[in-house]
Structure 1
Amino acid sequence: MTLRVGLLGLGYFAQFHREAWGRIDGATLAATADANPETGATYASLEALLGHGIDLLDIATPPPTHAAAIRAALPHGLRAIICQKPFCTSMEEAQAVTAEAEAAAVPLIVHENFRFQPWFRSMKQALDAGQIGTPLNLTFRLRTGDGQGPEAYLARQPYFQTMPRLLIHETGVHYVDVFRYLLGRPQGVYADLRRLNPAIRGEDAGHVLFDYANGARALFDGNRLLDFDTDTPRRTFGESLLEGTEGTLSLVGTGQVTLRRKGDAGGDVILEGRDWPGFAGDCVHGFQSHVVQAVQGEVAAETSARSYLDVLSLVETVYAASAAGTRLPVLP
């Protein structure tokens, strides 16, 4: 059975949702809704969209609209609801709508797509296969290069300038989830966050260190003012190393992943770099394809709202650790 998808919101990032739905077997984009008539949406309201007979609602609107949209959709017998990140406006709101969706037996899934980037899937596969032994260090260096000067972010996402929390809340949250995906849940967090561009309100640089019970460490080193060696920073957004007792996995800006075994020079390419369609390695397509499989009962949804509450909790711990200037434990 082909799932009929309704897309709420046709802003900047929704273009990637819309395009990806057109390439996914088992789903069809049946209708869209946006209050702005210039977007060419099928409908101007969520109510009209829900009345179109859709099976799956894809919410691609800003966080202040999330809770109301989810609650409005729950009585309509949908097979699933997808909600973009940042998920809702607070932990309390996210917890509430998650519980309401569970009570209504409607799967609620957060659109967290970075873990579906092909380089992280490739690294996870190699890690699970034991190709680097026991992982001890994971580093990701975020270098978007779009954060300098008074015009920073205005061309693509101008609201970035006024967000009270930027680097971690908007962007670093992806890597909090990626680190969980690769290494599991940490037991402690240290963070040093700072604002470098006076034209914006929130933080745009920082270091976040997660520690794990087996002695492993994961470092997120983010700086939106700096760039890195790539033809387009919006492919991988940075570079990564996953180092283990028996080898190292390296990600560079082309999207190439190399496995170098301990003691060797050079390494073997396990994922070729190339130009993927869509956004950042076609991860929106990867995520939405995964959701279709989950709704059809073929796999378990990796980013269910219940699971994603842990990501939100870790983000809050990052900000608290930075404010306190000390390591904080991750609470159960």
Structure 2
Amino acid sequence: MTLRVGLLGLGYFAQFHQEAWGRIDGADLVASADADPGKQADHRSLAGLLGERLDIVDIATPPHTHADAIRAALRARPRAVICQKPFCISLEDATAVTDEAEATDVALIVHENFRFQPWFRALKSALPRLGRIMQITFRLRPGDGRGPDAYLARQPYFRAMPRFLIHETGIHYLDVFRYLLGDPDGIYADLRRLNPSIRGEDAGLVVLDYGSGARAVLDGNRLADHPSDDTRRTFGELLAEGEDGTIELTGDGALTFRQHGSQTRETLLAAATWLGFAGDSVHAFQTHVVAALTRGGVLETTARDYLATMRLVELAYASAEAKARLPVEH
């Protein structure tokens, strides 16, 4: 069975959705919709798109449109609705549409592709080699936030976001940490704005703590870069440290393991050039959805599960304001 897919929105990031759907067996992108007459869309409205008898509605429009688009898609009863992040305009908004989706037989899935980057999948498989995990640190260093023209060329709406680093970008890594280590017990955040040309924060530190003694640290700075020919391949560097060894991610996408006390590094994932976005993670995510819908399996980023990641975002901002560690309720 081939799933019929409709794409709502043809903005900057939707190009990666569109290209990836064209390479997935078992899915066929049959139509697109965008209100902008300058876009090469098949329809100018969601109503027109939903008339295509779709199995999957893929929403890649701005957050303020998400709730209404999801509700309209749910009424059309596709098998699944995929929604880009930021998921809706608030946690309350996202919770409401999640509740409504669960009252139907339509799967609501958030397009969270970072956990599908190949280095994070390989790291998850290799974590047992570390023994007791002490800390996982990701240093976010895309180097794209400098100067008065920051973000204008690619995603100019970044500049006006009152919450930026954690709400727009850091949420990916909070989700990755949940994927790797599970839900934390506490959170501490220290956030700041370095570029006066934008409205929101663009640097900061977020620490998640676990009852096991492990820590997950997001050290983010959008003005600084890291050594890579493409800083948007991995967006930064990672170090996972355990009692038995360390695993390191470098900007070329290579993942290596070093046993404690050794100077020798074993390659877990070789450096490579990938199609698509960030290790072809959009393709990997969409392939996962198709496989789960057609062959069975657990969907990883359902709307209900993603609400836990969104709650971490809210707690990060609350922690930064309070200048204190806050507990995470389970």
TM-score tier after normalising by the smaller chain length: over 0.9
Q: Distance in 1 between matches of 2:89 and 2:114?
A: 21
1:229 alignment partner AA: P
Q: CA RMSD in A?
A: 0.7
Q: Distance in 2 between matches of 1:270 and 1:217?
A: 23
Q: Distance in 1 between matches of 2:171 and 2:264?
A: 32
Partner of 2:39: 39
SS at match of 1:78: coil
Q: Is 2:13 the partner of 1:16?
A: no
Deviation at 1:69, TM superposition (A): 0.3
SS at match of 1:234: helix
Q: Distance in 2 between matches of 1:32 and 1:190?
A: 42
2:254 alignment partner AA: Q
Matched pairs, number: 330
Q: Distance in 2 between matches of 1:233 and 1:205?
A: 16
Q: Distance in 2 between matches of 1:289 and 1:135?
A: 30
User: Which residue of 180, 184, 196 maps to 1:186?
Assistant: 184
Q: Distance in 2 between matches of 1:11 and 1:201?
A: 22
SS at match of 1:235: helix
Deviation at 1:298, TM superposition (A): 2.5
Unaligned runs of 5+ in 1: none
Partner of 1:329: 327
Partner deviation per Cα, 1:50-86 (whole Å, 9 max, x = no partner):
0011110000001000000000011212000000000
Deviation at 1:136, TM superposition (A): 1.2
Deviation at 1:254, TM superposition (A): 0.3
Partner of 1:109: 109
Partner of 2:265: 267
Deviation at 1:266, TM superposition (A): 2.4
User: Which residue of 157, 162, 165 maps to 1:164?
Assistant: 162
Deviation at 1:290, TM superposition (A): 0.3
Deviation at 1:297, TM superposition (A): 4.1
What pairs up with 1:1-332 in 2 under 5 angstroms?
Answer: 1-127=1-127, 130-332=128-330
Q: Distance in 2 between matches of 1:30 and 1:5?
A: 6
1:123 alignment partner AA: L
Q: Distance in 2 between matches of 1:321 and 1:208?
A: 9
Q: Distance in 1 between matches of 2:308 and 2:105?
A: 20
Partner deviation per Cα, 1:69-112 (whole Å, 9 max, x = no partner):
00001121200000000000011110000010000121000000
Identical pairs, percent: 64
Range with bigger deviation, 95-104 or 297-306: 297-306
Q: Distance in 2 between matches of 1:240 and 1:257?
A: 9
Q: Distance in 2 between matches of 1:212 and 1:160?
A: 32
Deviation at 1:131, TM superposition (A): 1.2
1:149 alignment partner AA: G
Q: Distance in 1 between matches of 2:213 and 2:133?
A: 9
The two structures have a TM-score, normalised by structure 2, of 0.99
Partner deviation per Cα, 1:189-221 (whole Å, 9 max, x = no partner):
110000011000000000001100011111100
Deviation at 1:143, TM superposition (A): 0.4
Q: Distance in 2 between matches of 1:307 and 1:170?
A: 18
Q: Distance in 2 between matches of 1:299 and 1:118?
A: 20
Please identify runs of 4+ aligned residues in structure 1 that moved more than 4 A.
Answer: none
Partner deviation per Cα, 1:143-181 (whole Å, 9 max, x = no partner):
010111110000000011100000000000000000000
Q: Distance in 2 between matches of 1:299 and 1:236?
A: 28
SS at match of 2:97: helix
Q: Distance in 2 between matches of 1:89 and 1:297?
A: 33
1:323 alignment partner AA: E
Q: Do the aligned residues in 1 keep the contact of 2:79 with 2:105 (CA within 8 Å)? A: no
The two structures have a TM-score, normalised by structure 1, of 0.98
SS at match of 2:258: strand
SS at match of 2:231: coil
Deviation at 1:115, TM superposition (A): 0.2
1:57 alignment partner AA: V
Q: Distance in 2 between matches of 1:247 and 1:39?
A: 50
2:129 alignment partner AA: Q
2:318 alignment partner AA: A
2:262 alignment partner AA: D
Partner deviation per Cα, 1:4-62 (whole Å, 9 max, x = no partner):
00000000000000000000011010000000111110100000000011110000001
SS at match of 1:108: strand
Range with bigger deviation, 172-181 or 242-251: 242-251
